[in-house]
């Protein structure tokens, strides 16, 4: 199953400028999602002037949004909120114009609580990784 940005907006409440996934595809071992960082996103204007770097918290959000297809069915009528982040590590800078590829897989699903493992890469180089936990709540 593949979903483009418009189809993902049917599942997620995020909209521009906070919609941080362009395309997602469900695979046999998880989800692969892509997001191309715009050339002048709001979150790099002050981080850092003259040397724009995508903040780590935005990388976490890219990984989270890139993981939603893993629990698409559970999202019907609900939204996913962060419940926690564990063992998050940042290994490489991400800059405007970079295409971030997120590989995510389900770690556990216990009722309204979901945990995924995600990795973000640019040009095959690991940029960020971690375990992300979500709590599904009614909209």
DSSP 75: G
Other beta carbons within 10 angstroms of residue 6's beta carbon come to 7
Q: What range defines the domain where residue 55 resides?
A: 2-138
Tell me, what's the pLDDT at 28? 93
| Structural domain count of the chain | 1
User: Are the beta carbons of 36 and 22 closer than 8 angstroms?
Assistant: yes
The residues assigned a catalytic role are 47
List, for residues 23-47, the tens digit of each pLDDT value: 999 999 999 999 999 999 999 999 9
| Confidence band of 139 (pLDDT split at 50, 70, 90) | confident
The CATH number covering residue 115 comes to: 3.10.129.10
List, for residues 111-120, the tens digit of each pLDDT value: 899 999 999 9
**pTM score, whole prediction:** 0.95
| 9 burial via Cβ count (<10 Å: 0-12, 13-18, 19+) | middle
Calculate ∠ Cα 127-135-18, nearest 5°.
50
Residue 90, beta-bridge partner list? 128
List, for residues 91-127, the tens digit of each pLDDT value: 999 999 999 999 999 999 998 999 999 999 999 999 9
Tell me, what's the pLDDT at 1? 86
List, for residues 52-78, the tens digit of each pLDDT value: 999 999 999 999 999 999 999 998 899
């Amino acid at each position: 199953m593949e979903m483009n940005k418009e189809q993902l907006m049917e599942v997620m409440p995020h909209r521009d400028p906070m919609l941080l996934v362009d395309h997602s595809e469900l695979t046999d071992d998880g989800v692969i999602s892509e997001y191309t960082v715009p050339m002048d996103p709001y979150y790099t204007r002050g981080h850092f002037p003259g040397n724009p770097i995508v903040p780590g918290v935005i990388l976490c959000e890219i990984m989270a949004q890139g993981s939603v297809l893993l629990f698409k069915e559970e999202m019907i009528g609900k939204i996913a909120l962060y419940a926690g982040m564990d063992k998050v590590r940042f290994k490489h800078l991400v800059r405007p114009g970079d295409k971030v590829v997120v590989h995510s897989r389900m770690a556990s699903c216990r009722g309204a609580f979901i945990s995924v493992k995600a990795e973000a890469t640019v040009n095959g180089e690991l940029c960020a990784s971690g375990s992300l936990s979500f709590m599904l709540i009614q909209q």
